[in-house]
Amino acid sequence: MQGDEEFKTITVRTGTVDAQGDSRKTKRFSGKFLAAKRTFRRARSRDDRGVDYTLYVRANGTYLVYICAWSHWQGESDEYSLHPVEDNQELTDLYPSLANAANIEVVEYLDLKDRKEREDLEAKRS
């Protein structure tokens, strides 16, 4: 997380923007910005379609990932969505490059895992 920055009210809009109009709905939550990442989807040029990911953390320690799948092509829609993520493990599984941009990593504590496996094995032998 970035320093001692205060949690702020963050406003995003989810839904679709297309030739028929803007059907997005406003959503608000208390959180902190952690990281943003842009990826490009293949088309004629490298920058005419893409996906923007924005990572926020909430006060309870869970995350929200705001995703905008956009296109510069006429007739194609832009899709905006908000996805809850429960913990670091889920974040790194679903959005590894975004977790990396926020310097979030998952540490697997092998000693605890080994101890639990040993206890389970001993319980089966008893």
Domain containing residue 116: 8-125
On whether residue 2 sits in a domain, the answer given is: no
Cα–Cα nearest to 104, from 113, 94, 119? 94
Q: How confident is the model at residue 72 (pLDDT cuts 50, 70, 90)?
A: confident
On whether residue 85 sits in a domain, the answer given is: yes
pTM: 0.76
Question: What is the total count of domains within the chain?
Answer: 1
Per-residue pLDDT at 17: 93
Write down the H helix ranges in the chain.
Answer: 88-94, 96-101, 110-125
Q: Which two tokens stand for residue 95?
A: 């959005």
Per-residue pLDDT at 33: 96
Say which amino acid occupies 16: T
Residue 36, beta-bridge partner list: 54
On whether residue 28 sits in a domain, the answer given is: yes
On whether residue 106 sits in a domain, the answer given is: yes
On whether residue 67 sits in a domain, the answer given is: yes
Q: 26-69 pLDDT, tens per residue?
A: 999 999 999 999 988 766 666 688 999 999 999 999 999 999 99
Share of the chain above pLDDT 90, in %: 52
5/85: higher pLDDT:
85
29/63 Cα distance (integer angstroms): 11
